[in-house]
């Protein structure tokens, strides 16, 4: 039976409905609300145009949140990928007990952020925490502004390692063993194999992992909420958490929407920059 020309498009209707309901409409509504004042329930009141954005860019607290956000991204995205890559290289060696190490390294991916954060909260305890016990000091990890962002970053890196490890391990195992054996016979040492074989051939997977980690770092929320709630002294008040506070703590939904749009533009620019950089460092051949 011949299909109707319209029938293939009917199968796309559920996807379009979901996209419009959960992506397109909220985005348009965010733009709309950002140009009004709102009451405590988020209902729009008076049209103010771009005034919310003007107030935002005149706010030192907003610039502080942006600065902390970029620090947070840098402290997470690249260290988590580097650590996962080193672990993937170790697991890629044909050693006895490799399966055990693979399970250990990928375990963080199987643990939800809430229980993982609860564990790390106990580990960071000033008096009874295992980290201070090992270091032999009483560092105020979660209550000192100098250490709070570091503590949250450690937790986030740990949560990210599992996914990164699995993705990079798959990439390493797709490298032909014949190629590795050939360059080994030619006298290439490990550093030369790493530079001329491993890095170029795994660069597509590496790019995807870096991309996902950068975007995920901009959106990190749960561990900040559970560990520090943006404190102490706004030292961990990244832009996502600031949006949450403005909307649900202070009832300033218009400010939250304006911040959300700024975050969207920042993430869009970072994404475009990453894809422009991709052409120079990623090898698909």
Structural domain spans, the chain: 7-47, 59-281
Q: pLDDT per residue over 183-228, tens digit each?
A: 888 777 878 888 888 888 888 888 999 999 999 999 999 999 999 9
CA distances from 272 to 75, 80, 189, 275 (A): 21, 22, 37, 5
As a whole number of Å, the CA-based R_g of the chain is 23
Q: pLDDT per residue over 130-143, tens digit each?
A: 999 999 988 999 99
Burial label, 35 (beta-carbon count in 10 A; 0-12, 13-18, 19+):
middle
CA distances from 267 to 9, 52, 239 (A): 32, 20, 12
Cβ count near 264 (within 10 Å)? 14
- Rounded mean pLDDT of 140-166? 93
- Global pTM value: 0.89
Which residue would you say has higher pLDDT here, 108 or 154?
154
Segment holding 47, helix H or strand E: strand 44-47
3-state secondary structure of 223: helix
Supply the pLDDT for residue 175.
82
- Rounded mean pLDDT of 29-51? 92
CATH level 2 (architecture), domain 59-281: Orthogonal Bundle (1.10)
DSSP-assigned states of every residue in 141-176? TTT-HHHHHHHHHHHHHHHHHHHHHHHHHHHHHTS-
Cβ count near 25 (within 10 Å)? 11
3-state secondary structure of 37: strand
pLDDT at 285 over 70: no
Burial label, 127 (beta-carbon count in 10 A; 0-12, 13-18, 19+):
exposed
In whole angstroms, give the CA distance from residue 199 to residue 241. Answer: 36
pLDDT at 1 over 60: no
3-state secondary structure of 45: strand
Cβ count near 257 (within 10 Å)? 24
CA nearest 69: which of 257, 248, 240?
240
In whole angstroms, give the CA distance from residue 197 to residue 7. Answer: 48
In whole angstroms, give the CA distance from residue 218 to residue 185. Answer: 45
In whole angstroms, give the CA distance from residue 267 to residue 220. Answer: 13
Supply the pLDDT for residue 280.
79
pLDDT at 283 over 80: no
């Amino acid at each position: 039976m011949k299909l109707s020309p319209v029938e293939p498009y009917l199968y796309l209707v559920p996807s379009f409905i979901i996209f419009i309901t959960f992506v397109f409409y909220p985005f348009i509504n965010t733009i709309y609300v950002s140009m009004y004042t709102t009451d405590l329930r988020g209902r729009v009141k008076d049209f103010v145009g771009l005034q919310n954005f003007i107030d935002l860019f005149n706010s030192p607290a907003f610039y502080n949140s942006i600065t902390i956000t970029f620090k947070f991204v840098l402290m997470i995205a690249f260290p988590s990928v580097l650590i996962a890559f080193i672990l993937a290289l170790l697991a890629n060696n044909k050693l006895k007990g490799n399966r055990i190490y693979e399970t250990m390294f990928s375990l963080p991916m199987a643990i939800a952020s809430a229980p993982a954060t609860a564990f790390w909260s106990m580990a960071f305890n000033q008096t009874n925490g295992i980290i201070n016990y090992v270091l032999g000091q009483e560092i105020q990890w979660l209550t000192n502004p100098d250490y709070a962002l570091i503590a949250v970053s450690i937790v986030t890196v740990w949560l990210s390692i599992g996914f990164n490890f699995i993705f990079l391990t798959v990439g390493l195992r797709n490298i032909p063993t014949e190629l590795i054996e050939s360059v080994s016979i030619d006298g290439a040492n490990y550093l030369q194999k790493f530079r001329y074989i491993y890095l170029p051939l795994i660069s597509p997977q590496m790019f995807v992992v870096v991309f996902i980690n950068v975007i995920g770092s901009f959106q990190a929320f749960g561990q900040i909420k559970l560990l520090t709630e943006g404190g102490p002294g706004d030292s961990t008040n990244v832009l996502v958490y600031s949006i949450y506070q403005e909307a649900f703590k202070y009832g300033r939904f218009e400010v939250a929407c304006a911040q959300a749009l700024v975050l969207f533009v920042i993430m869009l620019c970072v994404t475009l920059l990453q894809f422009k950089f991709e052409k120079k460092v990623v090898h698909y051949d």
